[in-house]
Structure formats: C-alpha cells, structure tokens
Structure 1
C-alpha cells in the first residue's frame, strides 16, 4: 500500500458536518462531496440526504469530466452514484428517470443485473460505470444545488475539525485574504495552521485540493528578522517549493503545488483570495496582524 493511501485510510473524515463531513467543492452549479466513508448504497444515500443533497447523478458529460480531475478519483477507486436498475423499463436510469446509456465500463452492466451503480476508476486507468450489489460497503459521492448555504456558514468556515498529528485541523473551502482567513479561524478558537512537522505537511498535501487552489497557512514575513516565521515566531526553514520564497518577498505564506507537482510552501500577496487551513492545539499563539 502506498504512503498516500495509508494516510487516506488513517484519517477519514467523520460526519461532524452535513452529509459525510468531507469538504464540499464547486463544480458548475453543484456542490460536490467525495466521501471516504464506506457504506451500502442505501446508507450512502441516507448520509447524503442528511446534508440536504443526494448521491450524485452524472448525466452531464462535462460534470463527469470535471469530477475525474479530482485527486480523490485515483486508480482502484469506486463510488456509489445515483443510478439504479428499473424493473419496469428493464434498464438502468438516473434518479431523474433518464436512461443510463453512455459511460459504462467495457462489458458492463453485467449479466447479473445488479440493481445499483458505481463509478469506478480501474487499475488499467479505465473509468466508467459498473453495476454492483447494493449491499456492498463502498465510498460514495454526494451532490447538492449550490444555493450559497454551504459556502457561507456562520462561525468560522463551517468545515468539521479532524484529528491530524495530535492537532485539530479544519480544511476550509471558504475563501478570503490572509487576514480574513485568520479572522475566520479565530471565530472558532483556532488560528491559521503552522506546518512545523514534515509529516503534517505530507498529510495535508494528500488531503487538500492543491491542484486547483493554494491554502493560506500561518506563516508571514517578519521585517525585524528579515525572515519568514510561523505565528509562534519560529522561523520557516524548510518545506518551501523549489525556488521559493520568491524574490518579490510577498508577506504571506500558503501551501500549494509547484508546476512540477511538488507540494510545499509558497509566498503570496496577502490580498489574494483563496482557501485556508485552521488548527487548534494547546500552544498559545502570538497575535500577528497583516
């Protein structure tokens, strides 16, 4: 098992917020939630509906293509989706009633005519639908209409805290400047995260959508020492992307992904509007403003 898979299994999200508790991300007019929990098709649908959504319907090819860009959709992964076998029409249909004709894996659906449908990314890199026993425990994908409720919750960013390397960590899909992000962390008694541990950085690289966003963390440029420091005052000595920090010496620090796909720290303009990561621990954190 790869290190990334071990990290994923070790730190599954718990359903502390709506749905399965994983963060939502925007695709077209939908809010999508890829759930690491494994459940039967019926239980998966129940969990999605607890979050005012449902299992995802992939009737639009453009939505299907966007979903496949996600890092969670790696090889050997399989997820419940919102399609089933309809006895009255002897066909597979989406929840809207539209027939599921395209997008099947080769030789699928099977002759067994299992009543439920999954989205699978196989080891040979084939991606498509397959039928499966509805009682199997599998991961699943929730979706709901983007009405603004999930993006703008009250109190902090609204995402659940998870346990990571002895800390409580909140991966926030809400966006703001560095100062706004820090203020939202403080609303829930937290602060922007300080990445002083190499293993913590590795785990966040796996769990965050670094391919599409940078994430504010608790690092900044300190004029008095002419160096980048964490909110505790500790100097940021390692963890930078190649050739970072830049010669521009932007004042704030984010976790991101380099052009070569390497995760690490980057200096950014503090006014950039992006996502962020909060943390809680027992260490008092110095008050720093930007």
Structure 2
C-alpha cells in the first residue's frame, strides 16, 4: 500500500517542535517517609524516580553525588500474588506450603517432594525464595500447554527464556493444573535435583510509584530474610538497592518527564479530552528518539494497544498529529494495513501495538490506554 508522503503543510497552529528534553532527576535533601516523598514528587514534579537500566542508575547516582548515602527511590513491594503472565493476574488459586509465604524472597517455586509418587503424595506445594536461586522451571505455551524449560536458571532468566520461546512462565489456575505440573516435574526434572523444585510464574511484584514495571534490579545481597516494603539506594554500597521500612525518613529523588501513560480505557476522543484537561496533549511521535521513549512508557500498559495523537482526515486524505503536523517519521506495522486509508462511518485514529511497538489504525471508538505529553 502506498504511504502518505511527508509534507510541510500544517493543519492548525503548531506548538513548538523543538527537541524534547530528556527525563530530569531532582535530588531533594529533605528527610521524609516514602509516602511523604511520593506526595512531594507528585506535587512538584512527575513522581518518585524509576530506574529501568544501568544508565539511569548511573544518572541518578550522579544526581545524588555525595549529598546523602541512603536515598528513597520509587520502588515499593506488593504482596506475593502476581503471575508473570498479565493474563493471569487475577487468578486466586494458591497452594502454599506450611508457614508460606515466609518472606524468604520475591519468587515462587513448586516443590514436588522427592520426585517419587509425587501426585499420590499430594505434593506440589509452593514456597517463596530469593529470585537469584538457580533451578529448573516450567513454561506455559498457549498452544501446547505446560512445557519443561531447558536447563536451570534464576527466576528472571527463566521468565525471559519462556517469553522468548513460548508464552510465559507457568501460571497455575486450579488444583488440576497444579497436579499436571507435578507430573511434568516427576517425568522431566533431572535426578540430581533431589527436591524437585521448579520455578513457576508467581512472584512478589515490586512496582514503581508511577505504576511502571521493569526487569532491571540492583539489589544489595543480604542474609536478612525479612522483606520490608520500600526501597533505598545505598551510595556507599556501589549504589545497591536495599529494602527499608516505609516509615523511615530519608532524602529522595524525583523525576520529571514529558510523557505520562494513563492506564484508563478511553476512546480516542475521550483520551484527547482527558489529556487536555490535565494541560497536556496526546503524544506526537515525530522521531526515532520519541518512538523509543514511547516504547519505554507502553511497557506497563494494561491494554494491547495505546492511543497516540494520530488522526486520519478523509477530507484531505492524510494522517496528521494533533499538534498540527503531517506524518513524516512513521512506524506503521507492515502486517497491518487494515483501515490505514479507509473512509467509512468510523473515524480512524493511530495507536501503538504494545507487543512489537508498531503503529496500527483503529476505529476511534476503541477503548484503550493512552499517552499524554506535556506542552513544550
């Protein structure tokens, strides 16, 4: 299908198209509890700081410099109770062993006893443990069901393996599925793993204050098995993270960002109105740099697609951004040309597909998450 040629024509008054500033970090040398720090950051900036990779970790350490040793960041602990596969977040079946979860770690394994007559002995109980422990694991494939993973890995490495080759780490919805995994353990786990312990997809979810999630961690190794609920950076320990009681008072780091993911499901018009009520606008993605930033934001979306500020005009026959520019840079999905140039009773708008971050055309009546951007 022929793509629309980039044009310099502006459809409305244009907001400045100068380059966006990167995320800014603000060290606040006031001692507050984690909740007080969160409120301060949300009032003055965007939120308590999030850290998604080692570069951001280094940038934040630079922002702190030598001003303080123990500093709040935006990571907070929920309870053990979230499946790796978002489709199963609401499943409530549990099969904890005695005195479990015991606060020994953030990830969960299934214990099938000694590998002999596992089902008959009604084993298959769950235990929490440190996610760095190396053990076998069970994947879930949407087409094939439960599948034993290859080798032994940490929980995070097992999750990555299952997501790349199948669907995700195994989620367990009922006793029947629990017993099905027990059979797989008994038949496939190497004999040297005497306890027949395997990772499943249940874990304690550490969530950033702005509701984003990240696989990047920088925890301090500790023999203390008592998990606290909020997170510090400890500068004197190579910037490692440490869990801490949320009521303790420390300095903190805020961040300010031009992009805000709104995890509410709205039509395109409702999303535009919601952004503008917050003195923002639906995001325009006019460069590779902005595409990358939008990709980072959409990783925590609750819908398969996320609205952009992209609209189709049947009158002129072009796609344009709400800030007034026609589309020069684009990331249209090559396998999804449906409706790109259609003109029917339903107005078409542009969305980013969260599984691969390509753009698609959707009827503006679809209800999905959306990204707002601050006026520049």
Q: TM-score, normalised by structure 1?
A: 0.50
Deviations along 1:93-136, whole A, 9 cap, x unmatched?
239xxx983455238xxxxxxxxxxx952499599689932666
Report matched runs for 1:1-290 at 5 Å: 11=23, 16-17=41-42, 21=47, 36=52, 55-58=77-80, 60=81, 63-66=82-85, 93-94=102-103, 101-102=127-128, 105-106=133-134, 121-122=156-157, 132-133=221-222, 137-138=240-241, 162-163=256-257, 168-209=258-299, 212-237=303-328, 238-247=330-339, 248=342, 251-257=348-354, 261-282=355-376
Q: Offset at 1:269?
A: 1.0
Larger Rg: 2
Indicate the structure with greater helix content.
Answer: 2
Question: CA, structure 1 residues 161+269, in 2 after alignment: closer, same or farther (shift >3 Å)?
Answer: farther
Deviations along 1:164-196, whole A, 9 cap, x unmatched?
xxxx22111122111111111111211111111
Cα distance in structure 1, aligned partners of 2:263 and 2:306:
9
Asked if structure 2 preserves the Cα contact closer than 8 Å seen for 1:94 and 1:100, the reply is no
Cα distance in structure 2, aligned partners of 1:253 and 1:17:
29
Q: Runs of 5+ in structure 1 lacking a partner?
A: 1-9, 24-33, 49-53, 71-88, 108-118, 141-159, 283-290
Cα distance in structure 1, aligned partners of 2:242 and 2:317:
47
- RMSD between aligned residues: 4.7
**Secondary structure of the corresponding residue to residue 276 of structure 2:** helix
Cα distance in structure 2, aligned partners of 1:268 and 1:213:
12
**Secondary structure of the corresponding residue to residue 259 of structure 2:** strand
Question: CA, structure 1 residues 170+211, in 2 after alignment: closer, same or farther (shift >3 Å)?
Answer: closer
Asked if structure 1 preserves the Cα contact closer than 8 Å seen for 2:272 and 2:282, the reply is yes
Q: What is the count of residue pairs matched by the alignment? A: 192
